[in-house]
């Protein structure tokens, strides 16, 4: 009897649960019905969270939130802090000004940050954690690009560029009287940079600031750029990154150096830590001050295609050990754990960006935070825990806390908006390229996806090419999906995350084997029954645009294309963009190796284009200058092809003006709508 009653109770319980579940399912369906698709305007409602910093006592996390204001047509970044135990976040900086790089004082009483005063350059400010007005610590004429607190909080190391001669008060007065700007006088081999323009001979050096007296002392100098300073645990030395070869503009070889803080010779006395001929960067001290962890690329022959390994060197110089050579995956931002037992670092691997760790003496690499997500930044407090910036396919970056080995969500910046949206499912896929190489990628489906329907499909190619699509939130892909497209996002050869050989496979073969890979991704989507082979579009930005140019000059499969900030006649870039070292290293000098330059340039196959092509770029882009877009447009226009060129005034490689980004989204949706879907936009829909 007892067993029967128990069985009856169980049955009643199951029935109750089933009824409740039915009610929940009904509620879920009702809630689902109220959701709406993503729109262009949602881009400006999504707030970009970044740079989490744990307070020394482990009770707070400071972080940044960037918003885009369409009315004022500008972006602003503010600093917030949230209690690690959970609770409402607190806004720390003014709403009308941008602030960045929050850093706690070692005693946790103050929060420092970078912000610009009216009509000035970025300076270091401090804010008492418990409230009050912020105070400027620096007043340098050239602005502060970075800084770090000393271990005892009494000093800071600042990164400053040499001031311009015209920055003096007398020069400013004379400049105000001038009607015509002075010409640029160029003497450097590397003479251009995106968002800067023409480079002069001013260099970036390190200065030490006494927080109490505000006195600054220069500790490095010379015709070199110094960056990434890190204090030794005892506060007597600073490690930094610098290319101090005979001609820094001719190579990528940076090393780790150490300078004594009390040196009075402006860095004439330095200790060179690394001698690896490839780039070494991102120094991080061990808690005992005996070792420095850093990132090292050891294969100089493959330049930018080389794997960045985790390495450890003696803080006295000489000893150098690579810890992740066998792993053969990209690592970033190493940091010793507070107890010194581990080196923490970001690890890029097969579509994932994880927080990994390895013992300082080497051994197995462990994923502290792994799986289908993207860990973009992290920090550890003096007493724990670890704060990490994590994104997932349906979650823009948010701050998580790791205090027991499991990520715990701390911030909910975009939750209100996300609760309104029906996002497209993101599927991780693997498929074979024609030569049998397995390629990985992602497919984003329309929110109302029906497996019985074949959808218009966009091949979306990433830039770099040394980068990867990962398990992060991708707004543009979700926007296309919300407009009824299947979106194919492959990681072709040339991508990172799959080892050096995979990345290096496109050496002197741009638009060759990587073209086969991206076309195979479309074939895979067709084979899965998702993609309509008669309604295909393609597009990308930077190298994604460059590979798009190869696609449209080598196949007629696509009904519409957009190519953003792309190159097409490669020889036109030499001496005009910022990549002279890369061009020479991979393609050779254009007057000596012209055949290869011309062979790789899609411009020389422009007569084969049949795909209607939207061409876009920024007027002041020195990464991939607008001349490339202009030449492609002129060639297509001259040949009577369907094309349009849109140039955005004052913009560099990545657009900073919200209204221009909105205009850009409107244009490529209208273009794909017309040529891929075959739907003419109405007059009111035109951007």
The 10s digit of each residue's pLDDT in 12-46 is 333 233 333 333 454 555 666 789 999 999 999 99
Answer yes or no: is pLDDT of 117 > 80: yes
Whole-prediction pTM: 0.91
pLDDT on residue 383: 84
User: Can you give the three-state secondary structure of 309-376, one letter per residue?
Assistant: EEEEEECCCCCEEECCCCCCCCEEEEEECCCCCCEEEEEEECCEEEEEEECCCCCCCEEEECCCCEEE
pLDDT tens-place string over residues 539-580: 999 999 999 999 999 999 999 999 999 999 999 999 999 999
Residue 465: cis peptide before it, omega within 30 degrees of 0: yes
DSSP state at residue 95:
T
Residue 4 — pLDDT band, cuts 50, 70, 90? very low
Is the pLDDT at 438 greater than 70, yes or no? Answer: yes
Q: What is the pLDDT of residue 21?
A: 39
Q: What DSSP character marks residue 680?
A: P
Mapped onto helix, strand or coil, the DSSP state of residue 648 is strand
> How far is residue 146's CA from residue 163's CA, in Å, rounded to a whole number?
15
Closest listed residue to residue 90, CA positions, set 78, 103, 101? 78
Q: What was the pLDDT predicted at 173?
A: 58
How confident is the model at residue 288, as a pLDDT?
96
> With helix as H, strand as E and coil as C, how does 384-423 read?
CCEEEEEEECCEEEEEEEECCCCEEECCCCCHHHHCCECC
What pLDDT is stored for residue 192 in this prediction? 82
Q: For residue 526, give the 3-state DSSP assignment.
A: helix
Burial of 436 from C-beta contacts in 10 A (0-12 / 13-18 / 19+): exposed
- Token pair for residue 225? 């750029």
Mean pLDDT of 640-661: 96
Q: How confident is the model at residue 305 (pLDDT cuts 50, 70, 90)?
A: very high
CATH architecture, domain 422-680: 3-Layer(aba) Sandwich (3.40)
pLDDT band at 8 (very low <50, low <70, confident <90, very high): very low
Which pLDDT tens digit goes with each residue over 575-604?
999 999 999 999 999 999 999 999 999 999
Mean pLDDT, residues 471-493:
98
Q: Tens digit of pLDDT for each residue in 230-279?
A: 999 999 999 999 999 999 889 999 999 999 998 777 888 899 999 999 99
Give the Cα separation of 466 and 493 in Å (integer).
Answer: 9
**pLDDT score of 52 more than 50:** yes
Band of residue 380 on the pLDDT scale cut at 50, 70, 90: very high
Higher-scoring residue by pLDDT: 248, 606: 606
* Residue range 336-351: mean pLDDT, rounded: 96
pLDDT digits (tens, 9 = 90+) for 124-182: 999 988 777 789 999 999 899 999 999 999 999 999 998 877 665 555 555 566 778 88
pLDDT at 174: 58
Is residue 636 scored above 90 in pLDDT? yes
Give the percent of the chain with pLDDT over 90. Answer: 81
Beta-carbon contacts of residue 460 (< 8 Å; ≥ 6 apart): 476, 477, 480, 487, 488, 489, 538, 539, 540, 544
With a cut of 90, say whether residue 681 has pLDDT above it. Answer: no
Res 499: pLDDT? 96
Task: Return d(Cα 467, Cα 147) in angstroms, integer.
Answer: 28
Closest to 614 in 3D by CA, of 666, 651, 649: 666
Over 60: is that where the pLDDT of 7 sits?
A: no
Mean pLDDT of all residues in the chain? Answer: 91
What does the pLDDT average to over 40-59? 96
**Mean pLDDT of the region 606-617:** 98
Mean pLDDT within 39-61: 96
- 684 pLDDT higher than 80: no
pLDDT value of residue 450: 97
State the pLDDT confidence band at 687, using cuts at 50, 70 and 90.
very low
């Amino acid at each position: 009897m007892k067993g029967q009653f128990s069985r009856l109770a169980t049955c009643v319980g199951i029935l109750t649960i089933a009824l409740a579940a039915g009610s929940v399912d009904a509620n879920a369906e009702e809630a689902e019905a109220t959701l709406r698709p993503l729109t262009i305007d949602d881009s400006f409602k999504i707030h970009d969270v970044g740079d989490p910093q744990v307070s020394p006592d482990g009770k707070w996390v400071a972080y940044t939130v960037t918003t885009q204001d369409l009315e004022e047509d500008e972006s602003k970044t503010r600093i917030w802090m949230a209690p690690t135990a959970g609770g409402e976040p607190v806004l720390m900086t003014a709403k009308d000004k941008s602030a960045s790089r929050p850093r706690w004082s070692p005693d946790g009483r103050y929060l420092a940050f970078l912000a610009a005063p009216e009509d000035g350059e970025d300076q270091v400010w401090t804010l008492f954690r418990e409230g009050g007005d912020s105070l400027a610590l620096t007043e340098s004429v050239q602005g502060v690009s970075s800084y770090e607190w000393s271990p005892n909080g009494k000093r800071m190391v600042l990164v400053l560029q040499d001031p311009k001669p015209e920055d003096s008060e007398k020069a400013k007065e004379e400049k105000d009287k001038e009607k015509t700007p002075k010409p640029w006088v160029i003497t450097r081999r590397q003479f251009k940079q995106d968002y800067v323009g023409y480079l002069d001979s001013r260099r970036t050096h390190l200065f030490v600031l006494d927080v109490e007296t505000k006195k600054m002392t220069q500790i490095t100098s010379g015709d070199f750029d110094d960056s990434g300073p890190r204090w030794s645990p005892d506060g007597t030395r600073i490690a930094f990154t610098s290319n101090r070869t005979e001609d820094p503009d001719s190579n990528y070889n940076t090393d780790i150096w150490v300078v004594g803080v009390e040196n009075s010779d402006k860095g004439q006395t330095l200790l060179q830590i690394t001698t690896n001929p490839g780039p070494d960067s991102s120094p991080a001290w061990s808690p005992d001050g005996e070792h420095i962890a850093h990132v090292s690329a050891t294969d100089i022959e493959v330049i930018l295609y080389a794997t960045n390994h985790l390495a450890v060197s003696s803080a006295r110089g000489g000893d150098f050990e690579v810890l992740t050579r066998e792993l053969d995956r990209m690592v970033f931002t190493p940091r010793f754990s507070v107890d010194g037992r581990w080196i923490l670092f970001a690890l890029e691997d097969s579509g994932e960006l994880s927080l990994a760790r390895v013992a300082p003496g080497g051994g197995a690499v462990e994923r502290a935070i792994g799986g289908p997500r993207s860990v973009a930044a992290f920090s550890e407090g003096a007493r724990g825990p670890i704060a990490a910036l994590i994104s997932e396919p349906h979650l823009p970056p948010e701050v998580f806390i790791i205090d027991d080995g499991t990520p715990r969500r701390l911030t909910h910046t975009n939750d209100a908006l996300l609760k309104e949206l029906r996002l497209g499912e993101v599927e991780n896929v693997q498929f074979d390229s024609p030569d049998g190489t397995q390629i990985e990628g992602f497919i984003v489906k329309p929110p109302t996806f029906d497996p019985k329907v074949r959808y218009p499909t966009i091949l979306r190619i990433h830039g770099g090419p040394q980068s990867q699509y990962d398990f992060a939130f991708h707004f543009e892909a979700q926007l296309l999906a919300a407009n009824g497209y299947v979106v194919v996002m492959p990681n072709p050869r040339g991508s990172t995350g799959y080892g050096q050989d995979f990345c290096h496979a496109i050496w002197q073969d741009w638009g060759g084997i990587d073209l086969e890979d991206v076309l195979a991704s479309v074939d895979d989507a067709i084979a899965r029954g998702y993609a309509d082979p008669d309604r295909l579009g393609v597009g990308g930005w930077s190298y994604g645009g460059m590979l798009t140019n190869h696609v449209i000059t080598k196949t007629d499969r696509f009904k519409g294309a957009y190519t953003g900030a792309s190159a097409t006649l490669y020889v036109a870039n030499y001496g005009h963009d910022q990549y002279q070292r890369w061009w020479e290293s991979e393609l050779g000098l254009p007057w000596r190796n012209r055949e290869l330059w011309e062979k790789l340039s899609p411009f020389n196959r422009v007569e084969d284009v049949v795909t209607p092509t939207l061409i876009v770029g920024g007027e002041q882009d020195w990464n991939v200058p607008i001349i490339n877009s202009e030449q492609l447009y002129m060639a297509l226009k001259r040949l009577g092809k369907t094309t349009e060129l849109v140039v955005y005034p004052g913009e560099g490689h990545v657009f900073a003006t919200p209204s221009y980004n909105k205009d850009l989204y409107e244009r490529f949706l209208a273009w794909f709508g017309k040529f891929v879907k075959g739907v003419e936009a109405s007059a009111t829909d035109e951007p």
